[in-house]
Chains A and B, each alone.
Chain A
Amino acid sequence: MHAIEVSHLTKKFGALTALNDVNFSVERGETFGFLGPNGAGKTTTIRTLTGISNPTSGTASIFGHDIQKDTIAARQSMGIVSETSNVYDDLTAWQNMIFSAELYHVRRDIREEKAKELLTTFDLYERRHDKAHGFSKGLKRRLTIAMGLVNNPQVLFLDEPTSGLDVQSNLIIREVITGLIHEGVTVFLTTHNIEEANMICDRVAIINKGTLAAIDAPERLKKTIQSVQSIVVSFDHVSLDQLDEVRNLSMVNDAVKEGDKFRLYTEDPATVIESVMEYAKARSLRVISISTLGPSLEDVFIKLTGLQRTGGLIHAID
């Protein structure tokens, strides 16, 4: 039995098709990344999988429980951490935890024990009697995730768990997620942090304009675009004026400045290395470092979603 099974899922809002015949399944214990640009359909997918929103057509099930027909049983095995840290500001951290436990029918005799365990894990126990409105963004995020784990979920939906957080909160959250993965919890992760997905996901799906563009293991996805290789080179003197010059070198498809380095995209790394060395000699520049990189998951994402790099930033193509 799959942990999550989605079949021909379509969701329309009037004339807008937010999800278009989406199909995928997630195995028990798998960490599944769901990537896509803003407005691609990530949140709609999560809202449909968690039963908040009904699909226009198609089905979704959690551990065999149809989310529309057997909603409560399906939700009982879920933990949901939404993109917004939706804690109750006027309740204390402890009251938030107990309320969440009550909503998820956690037995009275283990509610407090579980709340204490999770608040301790997220380094919030000392602040348990403080109202959440006094918490920083990082503390609220930690409390949101703790609330999502109060029922020992078998499948955890994480929507942008570490976006814009301080280093300490990031570390704690990543450590907890890694621990859950090792415990065999199925994790459904949406994130803008493609490197994060690359590091922790067994498989990723890339959704664009409501349609799944790709679904596979990160390394296999990278192999599909071997043409997008790159050379990263650093000279002893780097200026922005050099960007156009290196971009015009032989066999360079595109170039971006990344800090004190240039990244040159190419299908022929060997020729580009030769060109770079000749360019450095001609401009009396010393090459500090040079390395060849394969395509990253971000490259795959950009290629499949039709986004475009400009000066190190990523822009949508209209």
Chain B
Amino acid sequence: MLSTEEKERTNAWFVRISHEISAAWAISRKDMVTYYIKPNIIVSGILFPVFMFLAFAIGKNAPPGTLIPGLIAITLLFSASSIEPVSIPIERRVKTFDRLLSAPISLHSLVFGESVSGFLYSMGIACLPLVIGIVMFSTSIEHVLALIIAMALTAFCFATLGTLFAAYPTENVGEVMSMLNTVRLPLIFISGVFIPISQIPQIGQIIALFSPLTYGNDMISYAYTGTSLFSPVWDIVALLIFILIFQFVAHRLYKKFNE
């Protein structure tokens, strides 16, 4: 039996958690209403992956349906990581970010809430290639649950990456986007999206192990074809590790840069 004091402490803990979740969700909803249809987010999150994909897909002698997993993977990468690098510098400039920093919520909730808005945006956008694949190319999905898990983890991982880069203390969206693109663009080439990892040089194969896109793309491919480089369990574990690292580093950076 819990003593009265322990009960009060447990209740206070539940109240605190519920406050943190509700504030994080409020931040996510604010971002959805405010930023989802901003032109630079549409360009960076939707048009950029589409044109990037077309640039590689056109001329490649492969049935269009087989390219859908790769398109989903890079759509998740670009759309999930595009919201916060736009929204946070803008909010720094107009000083609304101070409102979030001074609210009675933990920095973890702030980072989590910001990441959730990128995650939901990305999940919505990535449904487009998914539906196009099914409707136009009759692409079949072997493991639906694996696809949902892969998309969700990949989206959240890259949403957190976007939040992490947005910690850089600037009011200029271009500065954050430039830094982010120096990471995002190489990821496409070393993660098996367009060129299978087995076909890239050995040094590239080693670097691929440190790319979260490798595991996201691998699991999406598994969901479609039933075959993959790593086991789905390892893909899930790797993506979870990347999410935790990105969340932790993002939290530390926001703390450091606000001092």
Contact = CB atoms under 8 A, between A and B. Distances in A.
Do A and B assemble together? yes
A84 B98 CA distance: 10
Contacts of B96: 86-88
Nearest to A75: B104
Interface string B74-118: 000000000000000000001110111111111000000000000
Contact of A104 (B33, B95, B98, B104): B104
Contacts of B105: 72, 103
Contacts of B100: 103
Given A82-B98, A86-B98, A103-B23, A75 B30 contact: no
A50 B104 contact: no
A304 B23 CA distance: 44
A52 B102 contact: yes
A84 B102 contact: no
A102 B26 contact: yes
Contacts of B102: 50-52, 75, 78, 80
A99 interface: yes
Interface in B17-40: 19, 22-23, 26-27, 30, 33-34
Contacts of A95: 33
A105 B98 contact: no
B258 A53 contact: yes
A192 B106 CA distance: 33
A86 B30 contact: no
Interface centre among A51, A54, A87, A102 (most CB of B within 10 A): A102
B259 interface: yes
A258 interface: no
Interface in A10-33: none
Contact of A72 (B27, B99, B104): B104
Interface of B: 16, 19, 22-23, 26-27, 30, 33-34, 94-96, 98-106, 258-259
24 contacts: A52-B101, A52-B102, A53-B259, A54-B258, A75-B102, A75-B103, A75-B104, A78-B102, A80-B99, A82-B98, A82-B99, A84-B95, A86-B94, A86-B96, A86-B98, A87-B96, A88-B30, A103-B23, A103-B26, A103-B99, A103-B104, A105-B23, A105-B104, A147-B99
Interface of A: 50-54, 71-73, 75-76, 78, 80, 82, 84, 86-91, 95, 99-100, 102-105, 147
Nearest 8 CB-CB pairs, A to B? Answer: A102-B26, A75-B104, A86-B95, A103-B103, A84-B95, A90-B34, A76-B104, A105-B19
